[in-house]
Structure 1
Amino acid sequence: MNIDSAREKFLLFLQNYEEYKTCDFSESDTRSKVIDKLFIDILGWSESNIQREGHVDCGYYDYRFSIPGFYMLVEAKKQFLDFVLPIKTKIVSINTLLSENRDVIQQIRNYLSDEGIDYGIITNGKQFIIGQFINHNGTLWKQNKCLVFNGLDEIKENFITFYNNLSKEGIIENGGFKFLQNKEIEFSKKIIETLVDREKEIVRNSISTNLTPIIETIFGEIFSDIKEDDAEFIKECFVENKETIKNRAELNGLFSDTPPFLSEVVGAQNHDSISQQINAEITSSNVSLKMAPPKPVIIVGSKGAGKTTFINFLFKNKLPNDTINRYPYVYVDFIKYYKNSKNVDTEKISEDILNSLYEQYPFLELDTYKVLKRIYIHEINRNDRGIWSVYKEKNQLVYLDKLNSFIEEKFKHKELHLEELSKYLVRERQMRLIVIIDNADQFDMETQESAFLFASSLNRRAFCGVFVSLREGYYYKWRNLPPFNAFESNVYHVTAPKYSEVLQKRISYTLKKIEFDSSVIERNVTGVNQVGYKIEMETQNIKEFFLSLQNSLFDNSNELIVDFLNYSTFPNTREGLRLFKLFLISGYTDVSEYIMRVRFNRDNHKITIPIHEFVKSIGLHNKLYYNHEISVIPNLFYPCNESSNHFLKIWILKYLSNKLKSGGNVNKYDSLSDLANCFINYGYKTDIIYKELELLLKLELIETDEILTDIKWVNLPEKVFNVCISAKGYYYLNEVMNRFYYFELVLQDTPIFDEVFFNNMCQVFPHCTENGKRNMNNRIETVECFMRYLGEQENHEPRVVLNQLGSIVQDIKNKGMDADIRNIKDKMGLS
């Protein structure tokens, strides 16, 4: 049913209605001959959505219409029982209609109250009163707006409004009556808007200010142009994945990375065994054109498993020298050749492979005239015996010109030349070229197919050994279909290393450098600390502090910090390092105090960082107050544009979290359209659902099987893809979101849609001193008030969502908030 066909049917209904005017219809006749036709034939409702003559305590209602997330009752009156309504179609308050339509309004209110439904329609077949007749938010129901149609001619003139508000399609699309959805939000204010100093920054003590450039210098090393194929970097920072006892059982279990049970996939337990098996594959056959080359090697692994780092580690550190010497290799980063097109320029890739060979292996002299002639020696010999024979015998200048033209022509066709060069290495040097095609897994299936086909053609025609990294989800789904089933391959699953170990090694790699580089800390640092004492710190003390971070950051005493970095930035190691640097240079982090602890506590140089200090430091950075637009801490309670719903992001995360728990890592994805339809059926508006999904993707709280998190985009792409909860989303949902330290930040920049609650929060909200200090007692009161406000707001959520996914507010209390507040009060003696 669409609006055009609905209007045609309505015009036909009007013609038949003229006949009904001569009949004195009872309520039953009105229902069967008029209302059924309107709602079923014209407005698109089906019998499965309708229950007739339901019994409640006060009597029998006429119709109950139900879709997931929305319910309404329809009360049908006799045809000639006219209502007293405004002449034209209008939106008016119920109170305006009440005095002259009291009986019918009170009757439907009684039915609604008994049935636990808020929305109703009163009609006699030609006039309609549509509205919300029951409230749960403490406001007067009489002040609610209702939409009235005073006759069928009015409906004809305003059919679009009629259809958008009462059709099944319109109610699903708008999550209820459209005229109620379109009403402006009557009240919306944020605490931060009331603060005159909201843009101010914290006043830092001078010694911390003087230490900041040193921190920037040291941790700037992490963000320098270190290449993933740098030998020293790989040696120091590669995490070999051996069998370990994992803690954090639930999170690590849900996001663990294990190969599927497929006979053709080699699931090695650590990188040593994979390396040994791959080396055996490379060297398994004699280097000869009479022997088939090794089968293509496909490296699969989850996103962030470190396939690129593993490939580099394999060839630079693990494979024996004998293998490397006999098997020159070239690394191809596929990202370089992807230009938003499905066509892969294999000619350009081949040209770059050739150039890499010339640069990396000059001793092979592959670009010399001597070798070029050897590459094409068979064709040259044939030409010497045939078409060039006369010139070779009688005119050497012409012969050489022919020979040079021949070689130049061959050299123009890079892909064909690469094949011939590779066969030359096999034939005359007993060496096999290895081509590694990496990062094809960053793109869609069609692009990955192109990469695989190119690699396979090099393997078959050029006798190359080839490595291709592919996304495991794609490979497992398509492995028995073309082109993958046309080529026999060896598949290796690279298991992701423990992310915290990756962070630790990279931080240690950077910090170690200050031991050998005196220019990093050239002189003592002087200044005034937070207490006001003048302090001078020697360079050795500062070095000791930074070096102590290697041992203490990943100690058990800082396990909450490690978890935060681990789960909120996985698999983006660089982002984890950036957050740690942000903590050290934040105005709220008193580095001088940590240095003094190391200096005077000689027996124990370990530094303990409370999680609330860490989150506050990175969440506020140098600002006095939280602003969700610039903070690295996302505000899950901030509605998208044109919405006043604090919870939809969280409902989506809970839905995907449940899917992960029930289906495991293999079945964690849900199609975007199925997910959206689920929440449409709950009663949420389509455009709001997609806006919230966009925000969740941008915040990296959910992830897709198609899109890289580092690709910048404005809107959801117009393509079919699947989504799942990310490690960050799961961690925020089950840990961060439930803690006092999170709430006291985000409440500062959350719109409050209730004036009474807003005023109460403003009364107790503590303002910051210039040093960022705030009264703890008032901080607790503000959080408690915000929790009560959220509880009231949650009462307006669809009951079906609450029944299926559970109360968000109660989860927050149970998972940490109540315990946090008790602990704080105990320490303050407020219990």
Structure 2
Amino acid sequence: MNIDQAKEKFDQIYVELMDENVPLDTEQDARFQVIDRILVEVLGWDRSGIRTEPHTDSGYVDYLLTAGNRNRLVVEAKRTSRLLIDTHQPRMAWYKVNGPALQSATDGLEQAKRYCTDTAVLFSALTTGLQWIGFWAVRTDGVPPKEGKAAVFPSLEAIQKNFAVFYDLFSQEGVLTNLYQVHVHQSEGLQINHSEVLESVIEISERRLLSKSGLLRDLENIYRSFFSSMSGEDDPDMLAKCFVESKESRAADESLEKITRNLLNQIDIVNSDRGTELEDQIRVSVESQRGDFILIIGNKGAGKSTFIDRFFRLVLDKQLRENCLTLRVDLANSDGNQVTIANWLTDKLKIELEKNLFKDGYPTYDELQGVFFQEYRRWSNGEYKYLYEKDKITFKQKFGEWMADIALNQPQKYVRRLIENAAHARRLMPCIVFDNTDHFPQTFQESVFQYAQSIYRECFSFIICPITDRTIWQLSKSGPLQSYEHRGFYLPVPSTKEVIAKRVNFIKEKAKGNAELNGNYFTDKGIRLSIPNITAFAFSVEDIFINEDYISRIVGWLSNFDIRRSLQIVQRVITSPIIDIGELVKAYAIEQRFRPQRINIKKALLFGDYNHFNQQDSSFILNL
């Protein structure tokens, strides 16, 4: 599609909207009747590249437009009755973002800016379908976004009269060539000479994938098995050996620790080599039969989920473990809908409780009768006493129908009864973990927190919620943390060097000793390399990332000390043909010392699998 064809299509849509009285009362009407059509039919965006309502740290983006597997444009939609422009000037114009003409659009523009930051998009559109505002939300020219100019089209008629600018700003063709920057700079007084030819130093055609040796491709399996895995759900041994044990004196970032300590009157540092603080708390809860509500606090990627899994599987005293009914609800599997999250949590808890309490994953009639024994006694001695004495079978059928109705139509009551049955009849302490809540916005986390508190207040239970230090700071200022009782444990983030060292030592331990037995261990992981090659690989990784402090520090900086992201960067370096770790392995095999030059390690970090830097292949480095 070219601009002339786009203009013809826009004129057709304009006539339809003006002549046919199309309903545009709600935001959904505007999106369906106008915005969707303009984006696809006029502006040339591929429907397959349009994502609606994708989740980000700041909420749900109305439209995230992509091309070439990269995010390109954020579109924030509002209902047509929403006032965006405070001036009645009918023409298309450029107004200062924080100026008087756009005061009513401030909230929408700020919302779009947050989405742009989350999705690495620079330009955004705020629209009701009839009014369009183009906003350079993430600027790289030293001008604060609020101080810049925004393109304002107050009506479809204004778009029609200035269609070339509209097309340059919002079309796929215009966005891919950054034409919005040309228009914004011109509106702000910076003139660009269109005759000046700007050329890339390295043409796209010169960038190519480098070939990998067969040994290097085989070694990638080792990385995926032992370096990428965080949970170790199918390998408790790895979980135990690779968790970084931190002491109180060294693991926490001092500033974050100080903020957290100032916010909470009582917060302990987790000594993660044993987790004795959490164990002591569980012991007190079991003995006192009063339960407790625990927050595990730490940065994103600090290993909160891994710490909890490891604690209940391997660290907690066996006798205490036998007295616990551990239930884990993984919020990462939810759809993130705050309205329905309570029902979703109830359904997941119901499944977990039945799976852990009953042999076949569901209760028998007699087991259900035990859960509702209080009501059974009441029926047999009260309302249905004569039916019970006259016809027990009919009585039991009637009571069974009542229990089925409770399980189906009052699942929250059913879940609480199962929790009470576990605590009082089976003498187990329900330990409920609401994991990965920190993947979602603050309001969503508040809903989960309040749901967990409702269980804690009604039932004897030990509740654990991992939460980020950023969220606990927000909730402590205004939110349910001010009202509800809880205890907090701060989990420090280990250094990147320690994380890698643990995994390297684990590989080396597995590779030595009984060669046949350990060879089977690696084979079970899909690794077909010989033990000498595996050992050499471990020493090579050690040379690059552990013995070279500077390299591991760079990885930590680029990932903001997020363990998952650190391991992704390490993978980028290890598996890059620029270093070709296969050559290091061969050098160890013939007992020669060979270390890659630091410049090649940096190139591997920058270029990855390519011969030159390729922005589309890099999630951690931005070419300015």
Letter aligned with residue 246 of structure 2: N
Does residue 462 of the first structure (1) align with residue 459 of the second (2)? yes
Match of 1:383 in 2: 379
Match of 2:401 in 1: 405
Where do residues 597-746 of structure 1 align in structure 2 (5 Å cutoff)? Answer: 597-601=587-591, 608-631=595-618, 634-637=621-624
Letter aligned with residue 281 of structure 1: Q
In 1, Cα distance between the equivalents of 2:402 and 2:90?
75
1:331 to 321, 328, 333: 328
Match of 2:41 in 1: none
The answer to whether the Cα contact below 8 Å between 1:329 and 1:435 also exists between their aligned partners in 2 is yes
Does residue 220 of the first structure (1) align with residue 224 of the second (2)? yes
2:573 to 583, 587, 592: 583
2:418 to 418, 421, 432: 421
In 2, Cα distance between the equivalents of 1:622 and 1:269?
40
Match of 1:279 in 2: 279
The answer to whether the Cα contact below 8 Å between 1:264 and 1:491 also exists between their aligned partners in 2 is no
1:186 to 192, 196, 200: 196
Q: Could you say which structure has the larger radius of gyration?
A: 1
Letter aligned with residue 533 of structure 2: I
Check 1:427–1:218 CA distance in 2 against 1; reply closer, same or farther (3 A cut): closer
Match of 1:209 in 2: 213
Does residue 342 of the first structure (1) align with residue 334 of the second (2)? no
SS at match of 2:616: coil
Task: Structure 2: state its 5+ residue gaps.
Answer: 1-84, 92-99, 102-182, 513-517
Where do residues 414-813 of structure 1 align in structure 2 (5 Å cutoff)? Answer: 414-479=411-476, 481-509=478-506, 516-517=518-519, 539=530, 541-549=532-540, 551-556=542-547, 558-601=548-591, 608-631=595-618, 634-637=621-624
Letter aligned with residue 424 of structure 2: R
Match of 1:356 in 2: 352
The answer to whether the Cα contact below 8 Å between 1:350 and 1:415 also exists between their aligned partners in 2 is yes
Check 1:499–1:506 CA distance in 2 against 1; reply closer, same or farther (3 A cut): same
Q: Report the CA distance between 1:450 and its aligned residue.
A: 0.8
In 2, Cα distance between the equivalents of 1:402 and 1:200?
73
The answer to whether the Cα contact below 8 Å between 1:215 and 1:584 also exists between their aligned partners in 2 is no
Letter aligned with residue 554 of structure 2: F
Does residue 241 of the first structure (1) align with residue 246 of the second (2)? yes
Check 1:243–1:492 CA distance in 2 against 1; reply closer, same or farther (3 A cut): closer
SS at match of 1:495: coil
Letter aligned with residue 192 of structure 1: I
Does residue 198 of the first structure (1) align with residue 206 of the second (2)? yes
SS at match of 1:296: strand
The answer to whether the Cα contact below 8 Å between 1:214 and 1:521 also exists between their aligned partners in 2 is no
SS at match of 2:199: coil
Match of 1:296 in 2: 293
In 1, Cα distance between the equivalents of 2:323 and 2:223?
40
Letter aligned with residue 455 of structure 2: L
Match of 1:168 in 2: none
In 1, Cα distance between the equivalents of 2:538 and 2:368?
54
Letter aligned with residue 566 of structure 1: G
In 1, Cα distance between the equivalents of 2:455 and 2:609?
55
Deviation string, structure 1 residues 556-586 (Cα, Å, up to 9, x no partner)? 3x22222222222344434433443443443
Deviation string, structure 1 residues 694-741 (Cα, Å, up to 9, x no partner)? xxxxxxxxxxxxxxxxxxxxxxxxxxxxxxxxxxxxxxxxxxxxxxxx
Check 1:478–1:365 CA distance in 2 against 1; reply closer, same or farther (3 A cut): closer
Normalised TM-score (structure 2): 0.62
- What is the aligned-residue RMSD (CA, Å)? 3.9
In 1, Cα distance between the equivalents of 2:521 and 2:464?
42
Match of 2:20 in 1: none
Match of 1:672 in 2: none
Q: Report the CA distance between 1:376 and its aligned residue.
A: 1.0
Q: How many pairs align?
A: 442
In 2, Cα distance between the equivalents of 1:614 and 1:438?
36
Where do residues 99-118 of structure 1 align in structure 2 (5 Å cutoff)? Answer: none
Check 1:584–1:447 CA distance in 2 against 1; reply closer, same or farther (3 A cut): closer
Letter aligned with residue 397 of structure 1: I
Q: Report the CA distance between 1:387 and its aligned residue.
A: 2.2
Match of 1:232 in 2: 237
In 1, Cα distance between the equivalents of 2:600 and 2:552?
14
Where do residues 311-322 of structure 1 align in structure 2 (5 Å cutoff)? Answer: 311-322=308-319
SS at match of 1:261: helix
The answer to whether the Cα contact below 8 Å between 2:331 and 2:437 also exists between their aligned partners in 1 is yes
Letter aligned with residue 217 of structure 1: N
Task: Structure 1: state its 5+ residue gaps.
Answer: 9-42, 45-172, 523-537, 638-831
Deviation string, structure 1 residues 198-221 (Cα, Å, up to 9, x no partner)? 14555x6xxx62322321332232
Does residue 370 of the first structure (1) align with residue 369 of the second (2)? no
Question: Which stretch of structure 1 is more off in the superposition, 591-600 or 607-616?
Answer: 591-600
Deviation string, structure 1 residues 131-180 (Cα, Å, up to 9, x no partner)? xxxxxxxxxxxxxxxxxxxxxxxxxxxxxxxxxxxxxxxxxx95786454
The answer to whether the Cα contact below 8 Å between 2:209 and 2:609 also exists between their aligned partners in 1 is yes
In 1, Cα distance between the equivalents of 2:254 and 2:595?
27
SS at match of 1:283: helix
Q: Report the CA distance between 1:632 and its aligned residue.
A: 5.8
SS at match of 1:192: coil
